[in-house]
């Protein structure tokens, strides 16, 4: 279940001509449903054309790249019917990368925008899980294994075309913002969308002290002489802000870095 702008974004908000199951974070497919024939035809003809351009053995090479059987590619090329194979959104995306060309799902000849003009969202993008956030937990920084968790559906809207990444939330330090233990906070790099701290932004903050680091979610409050980073928690342990003084030359053993702007959250069923 995907949350953004205080709304729940799931398959109820998608076109009835598309089946999009976000519950397992992976299955978003174009199936053999009434009204989907034109979309299927465009995909099928695009795929047929790209395979013909590659010549002999192209079907087998594509199947090898997708890690599927060549017969599965044949079913993708089949006309709607019993042999028709539903195509997962991740497979569509991987075929686009393989051939270096967008699929013309909006009826154009050169590959369309991800959001088709008729309101369909034929391809769902995903954000890799880049780490965990946990207030009060200081630990050595290490290279994060992005394969540890399945990727999370990105937040649509203003930041849909930017790289998004997700963080697993540990603990109650931001529960007053309806982001709970076990949820995933979805974010974009802060300094790609902001030139200075903005009052009210919910952000990922990393504090470092020696070889140890703490990564948390905080809300920005901007004052003339300082920036305060507040936890939004019902837990009495997390009530004090991190204060960053402006134009201060005083040395500090702890460095503070705002890394990401939180734009949504995701909760698995």
Q: Find out whether 155 and 164 touch, Cβ atoms under 8 Å.
A: yes
* Residue 145: predicted pLDDT: 61
Alpha carbon separation from 89 to 31, 93, 114, 210, 220 (Å, rounded): 11, 6, 11, 44, 36
More confident residue, 30 or 182: 182
Tens digit of each residue's pLDDT (9 = 90 or more) over 184-228? 999 999 998 999 999 999 999 999 988 888 999 999 999 999 999
Average pLDDT estimate for 158-184? 89
**84 lies in the same domain as 138:** no
Does residue 106 form part of some domain?
no
State the residue range of the domain holding 242: 126-266
**214 lies in the same domain as 135:** yes
Does residue 52 form part of some domain?
yes
Look at residues 99, 116, 139 and tell me which one is the last residue of a structural domain: 99
More confident residue, 260 or 90: 260
260 pLDDT band (50/70/90 cuts)? very high
Does residue 104 form part of some domain?
no
Average pLDDT of the chain to the nearest whole number = 75
**253 lies in the same domain as 171:** yes
Six token digits for residue 90: 């991740």
**92 lies in the same domain as 142:** no
Name the 3-class secondary structure at 65: helix
User: DSSP states of 118-181 as a string?
Assistant: TS------EEEEEEEE-TT--EE-----TTSS--EEPPPSTTTTS--EEEEE-SSTTGGGT--T
* Residue 128: predicted pLDDT: 86
**86 lies in the same domain as 137:** no
**Tokens 């990393």 found at:** 206
* Integer Cα distance of 43 and 213 in angstroms: 47
**84 lies in the same domain as 165:** no
**210 lies in the same domain as 246:** yes
Alpha carbon separation from 107 to 111, 119, 226 (Å, rounded): 8, 13, 53
**202 lies in the same domain as 262:** yes
The angle formed by the CA atoms of residues 15, 166 and 148, to the nearest 5 degrees, is 110
For the chain, give the percent of residues with pLDDT over 90.
22
**196 lies in the same domain as 245:** yes
**147 lies in the same domain as 21:** no
Asked if pLDDT for residue 93 goes beyond 90, the answer is: no
Does residue 121 form part of some domain?
no
* Residue 158: predicted pLDDT: 84
* Residue 251: predicted pLDDT: 58
Does residue 117 form part of some domain?
no
Find which of 55-59, 113-117, 185-189 is predicted with most confidence, using mean pLDDT: 185-189
**81 lies in the same domain as 21:** yes
Average pLDDT estimate for 165-194? 91
Return the percent helix, strand and coil in the chain, to nearest 5: 20, 30, 50
What is the count of structural domains for the chain?
Answer: 2
Find which of 50-54, 235-239, 260-264 is predicted with most confidence, using mean pLDDT: 260-264
Tens digit of each residue's pLDDT (9 = 90 or more) over 70-83? 888 888 887 655 44
Does residue 109 form part of some domain?
no
**167 lies in the same domain as 94:** no
Does residue 120 form part of some domain?
no
Q: Greatest CA span in the chain, whole angstroms?
A: 72
**Closest listed residue to residue 246, CA positions, set 197, 205, 173, 191:** 197
CATH number at residue 222: 2.10.109.10
Does residue 108 form part of some domain?
no
């Amino acid at each position: 279940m995907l949350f953004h702008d205080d709304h729940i974004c799931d398959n109820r908000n998608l076109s009835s001509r598309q089946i999009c199951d976000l519950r397992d974070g992976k299955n978003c497919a174009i199936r053999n449903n009434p009204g989907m024939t034109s979309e299927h035809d465009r995909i099928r003809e695009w795929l047929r054309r790209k395979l013909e351009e590659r010549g002999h053995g192209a079907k087998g090479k594509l199947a090898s790249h997708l890690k599927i059987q060549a017969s599965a590619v044949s079913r993708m090329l089949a006309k709607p019917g019993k042999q028709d194979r539903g195509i997962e959104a991740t497979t569509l995306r991987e075929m686009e990368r393989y051939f270096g060309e967008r699929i013309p799902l909006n009826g154009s000849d050169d590959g369309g925008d991800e959001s088709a003009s008729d309101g369909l969202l034929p391809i769902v993008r995903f954000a890799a899980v880049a780490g965990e956030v946990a207030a009060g937990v200081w630990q050595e920084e290490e290279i994060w294994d992005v394969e540890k968790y399945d990727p999370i559906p990105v937040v649509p809207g203003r930041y849909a075309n930017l790289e998004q990444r997700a963080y697993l939330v540990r603990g109650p330090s931001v529960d007053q913002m309806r982001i709970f233990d076990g949820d995933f906070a979805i974010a974009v790099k802060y300094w790609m969308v902001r030139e200075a701290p903005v009052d009210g932004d919910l952000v990922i903050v990393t504090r470092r002290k020696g070889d140890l680091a703490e990564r948390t979610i905080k809300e920005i409050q901007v004052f003339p002489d300082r920036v305060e980073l507040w936890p939004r928690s019902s837990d009495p342990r997390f009530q004090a802000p991190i204060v960053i003084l402006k134009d201060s030359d005083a040395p500090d053993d702890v460095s503070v870095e705002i890394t990401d702007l939180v734009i949504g959250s995701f909760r698995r069923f």
